Structure 1
Amino acid sequence: MASATTDDPIAYPNHFFIDGDWVSPSSDSVIDVINPTTEELYCRIAEAQEADMVKAIAAAREAFDNGPWPRMTHAERAQYLEAIAAGINKRIEALGDIWTSQVGVLRRAAKYAVPGIASTWEYYAGLAESYAWQEQRKPSAGGEIALVVREPVGVVGAIIPWNAPLAMIANKLAPALIAGCTVILKASPEAPGEAYIMAEIAKEIGLPPGVINVLTADRHVSESLVRSGDVDKITFTGSTAAGRRIGSLCGERIARCTLELGGKSAAVILDDYDIQTAANTITGAACFLTGQVCSSLTRIIVSRSRHDDMVEALGAAFAKISIGDPFDKATMMGPLATSRQRDRVEGFIDSGVADGATLAAGGKRPSNLDRGFFIEPTVFGNVDNNMTIAREEIFGPVLSVIPADDEEHAIEIANDSIYGLNSSVFTNDVDRADSVARVLRAGTVGHNSFRTDSSVLFGGFKRSGIGREGNIEGLQPYLELKAIIYDKQPSSLG
């Protein structure tokens, strides 16, 4: 297996980016980033200690309180966002290599995704002119005129996951920066490369010092970021367990937080829809990033009379999936990101068997691959919605086919979850799809496909998170509303 490698994937692995410059760490502690395809060392980076985090927070605080960034016009900040987008597009090949080498996403998919991620920065740059940053209102309790002003929330701590770092950075930092916030970007120890590339771009374009600060840290040091009274808002993408802890800490000090968490998303297959077509669609989505996607459709709900056909169709579709080196154009699914993640997925597979579900396909490590954190795509049939594999997020290519008595029962099963991130309904009748979509308790409902789109809106109901990312709604959490009520109209309002 000849996975592509990069001699120097990160330009300054032994430094952090703080206050506009590359700075030495406070200790010799390092983190080994392992290539999940080869199980070999990909790169070694500095691990932040609390002293480093304190320095990064102080830089962001100073930049917000006394620096030029929040005092610029939105149009001036937009020029920097456009420059960041250009910097990303200039690095498509490097960013594709980094994503694939860190977590095993297919190289061709990684390369395809980068320009779309750059467009997120361009979208938020465009809001400088199109968004209503302030509006006039007529006061009813005295005063001649009132103004509602949307101002930056302040210093933001952004905690990024390992599965899709570049996209998560864009979804969080682009709206934060156009709003006028300053940011501490805490990269994942498993996949820090994209955050370091962002720091390189910030340096290259002359972003004012302290606006973006980048370091990589473990959970203990990350918690000091969440606890800090100098950080006004936390934005986090990751597990529900970690999100619960972060939300609790933010609640203790009444800090703002956005939490994008886990999912156990349902695909409801109605009786008028072709089983094979549904199976092929679901299979393609399930294998993207080896199922390590929070919004992945993992509970497949189908009428009892068609249950066996669905299990058979999914198993046949999975049998055609070529597993191997994600740099190989023939590969259709790469490895899981870490050995720990593979152990976790295998544990859930064992749980499904122990609980009495039928292991219909997969469930093992591929016999033809002697290294790499690979697992076969897996299908369970005869799953009860109360089984562990139907309740908990597995974060791997494991599907549970659940029989339903009728459409109403299928909807009941779909909604019977602590999560509510994503869902889909498969039917040839768009009005029927609309009817079902209206009652599914999920942040996104797709029709006849896995459909999530942060350019529209992304986020979940219930324990899948708090807040939304993408579009206008993704900007609003980085703003504070201020009402100014004047005795007479100031000259600034014309």
Structure 2
Amino acid sequence: MTETVKLKSPIDGSIYAERPLASDATINAAVERARAAQVEWAATPIAERGKYLLAMLEELIGMNDEIVTELAWQMGRPVRFGGEKGGVEERTRFMVEIAGAALKPVPASNPKDGFRRYIKRDPLGVVLVIAPWNYPYLTAVNTIVPGLMAGNAVILKHAAQTLLVGERFQAAFDKAALPKGLFQNIVMNHAQTEKLLGSGRIDHVNFTGSVAGGRAIEKAAAGTFMTVSLELGGKDPAYVLPDAKMDHAVANIVDGAFYNSGQCCCGIERVYVHEKVYDEFVDGFIDLTKQYVVGSPLDQATTMGPMAQSRFADLVREQKAEALRKGATAHIGMKVEGDRAGSPYLGPEVLTGVNHQMSVMREENFGPIVGIMKVRDDDEAVQLMNDSPYGLTASIWTTDTDRAAAIGDRIETGTVFMNRCDYIDPALVWTGVKDTGKGGSMSAVGYENLTRPKSFHLREAI
């Protein structure tokens, strides 16, 4: 009997989709097709590659109504938010637009008579994208689009929780008439993925997921000399200064903490507020959080759906219980139908009286719970923001740009925000430090990570 992958919907626990695992022969054939197609693709002009990518984008946008409903069933995001179309379009168009300049050969900085010297960016070959379920289109497109634009072939292994996303990408590329073999969606389990990584036939892997998953990726790839890009855990902080525009800060940090049920790579999980505005901020934060409507993501009135899996919700419940045992105060206590151990449904929660001896302030929860701490000054805020094994983003809320930049220089993080959070700007590299991982996507730097430098040192005949 063929082994299958089952997608259990968080809406009602039903099996929403089931797909057979690819056989070893199927995986091997896919890699061979990718490698053969990539050779010709690498010789295709960048502008021509861009036409295929933009055609794929149009096909994907045309499927959005169906995609929005599928996302609700697969991972619980409310239909009222319209899926991920906007971000996918912004990132795709930008990365296609800058490809020519980003991949253009760079002349040596010190010209010499009689020589032609430059550095060229060559594609790596076959790129494997291992994408997560929380933003299944956005996280995948971050590497799929620049990977193909850079002249690579791309194989996508999507999360079991979002099986249908890979099929949507495949259908969009097929309708765009991308040459066969350049993009392939394959259903694999962990063991098959690790075997493929260790085979030496993959040139680059991009993985977004847990720290444990990242370690497994590096272990599987050890000795192959392939390049590895990892975006792993996060515990992103926000710091609210006394001069912050309070209404703006409250509204955006609440959204940054609870959008997508808190299941955001760069969502706000901990907040530090200057003592001068602590009470005002906390009061506003609690009032706005109480306005969330938790329920079926298929209902237009719902602003927070279930978490993708029950075990994720149970982790949030455990963190809350531990914090309360250690003296924290919970302020929301929203009554949500179906909220019980073993259920993916639970309401947002705001905790005060927290400290860094509590897991809610130290360990990633990836859910709708946030702790708020009072701080005396910038030094204490920076010390606490850096007291974490992770470093993806940090946001600073102030009207003083110079002060924000100075504080940002002291924070161990991949991105410093001022007066915004939970956003990827495709013109800036998306990267992390410490246990959040390594490598980077988006911007021209993203192209550097998907190519290898090749030097040309050409001397004219004497």
Which bracket does the TM-score occupy, shorter chain normalised?
A: over 0.9
Task: Please tell me whether residue 93 in structure 1 is matched to residue 87 in structure 2.
Answer: no
- Residue by residue over 1:425-451, the C-alpha shift from the partner in whole angstroms, topping out at 9 and shown as x without a partner, is 112333322322232222222222325
Q: Distance in 2 between matches of 1:97 and 1:140?
A: 57
Q: Output aligned runs, 1:127-166, within 5 Å.
A: 127-137=98-108, 144-166=115-137
Q: Output aligned runs, 1:92-491, within 5 Å.
A: 92-111=64-83, 113-137=84-108, 144-273=115-244, 277-304=248-275, 306-362=277-333, 366-367=336-337, 373-457=344-428, 458-488=430-460
Q: 1:303 to 1:151 in 2, by over 3 A?
A: same
Report the AA paired with residue 54 of structure 1: N
Q: Distance in 1 between matches of 2:363 and 2:200?
A: 34
Q: Percent of pairs identical after alignment?
A: 28
Tell me the equivalent position of 1:33.
Answer: 7
- Measured after TM superposition, the shift of residue 63 of structure 1 is 2.5
Does the residue aligned with 1:192 lie in a helix, a strand or coil?
helix
Q: 1:304 to 1:456 in 2, by over 3 A?
A: same
Q: Distance in 2 between matches of 1:340 and 1:365?
A: 19
- Residue by residue over 1:362-385, the C-alpha shift from the partner in whole angstroms, topping out at 9 and shown as x without a partner, is 3x7714679962111111211112
Contact kept in structure 2, 1:50 and 1:224, CA below 8 Å: no
Q: 1:148 to 1:374 in 2, by over 3 A?
A: same
Q: 1:116 to 1:293 in 2, by over 3 A?
A: closer
Give the structure-2-normalised TM-score: 0.92
Contact kept in structure 2, 1:155 and 1:232, CA below 8 Å: yes
Q: Distance in 2 between matches of 1:124 and 1:435?
A: 30
- Measured after TM superposition, the shift of residue 273 of structure 1 is 2.7
RMSD: 2.4
2:50 to 54, 78, 83: 78
Q: Distance in 1 between matches of 2:362 and 2:440?
A: 23
Tell me the equivalent position of 1:5.
Answer: none
Moved more, 344-353 or 457-466: 344-353
Tell me the equivalent position of 1:52.
Answer: 26
- Measured after TM superposition, the shift of residue 128 of structure 1 is 4.5
Does the residue aligned with 1:149 lie in a helix, a strand or coil?
strand
Report the AA paired with residue 381 of structure 2: A
Give the structure-1-normalised TM-score: 0.86
- Measured after TM superposition, the shift of residue 454 of structure 1 is 3.4
Does the residue aligned with 2:17 lie in a helix, a strand or coil?
strand
Does the residue aligned with 1:52 lie in a helix, a strand or coil?
helix
Q: 1:185 to 1:320 in 2, by over 3 A?
A: same
Q: Distance in 2 between matches of 1:432 and 1:127?
A: 32
Q: What 5-or-longer segments of structure 2 have no aligned partner?
A: none
Q: 1:410 to 1:206 in 2, by over 3 A?
A: same
Q: Distance in 2 between matches of 1:300 and 1:198?
A: 37
Report the AA paired with residue 406 of structure 2: S
Moved more, 277-286 or 409-418: 277-286
- Measured after TM superposition, the shift of residue 276 of structure 1 is 5.3
Moved more, 120-129 or 385-394: 120-129
Q: Distance in 2 between matches of 1:446 and 1:138?
A: 33
Report the AA paired with residue 271 of structure 1: P
Q: Distance in 1 between matches of 2:319 and 2:111?
A: 60
Q: Distance in 1 between matches of 2:86 and 2:373?
A: 38
Report the AA paired with residue 158 of structure 2: A
- Measured after TM superposition, the shift of residue 141 of structure 1 is 10
Contact kept in structure 2, 1:262 and 1:295, CA below 8 Å: no
Moved more, 227-236 or 309-318: 309-318
Q: Distance in 2 between matches of 1:224 and 1:141?
A: 48
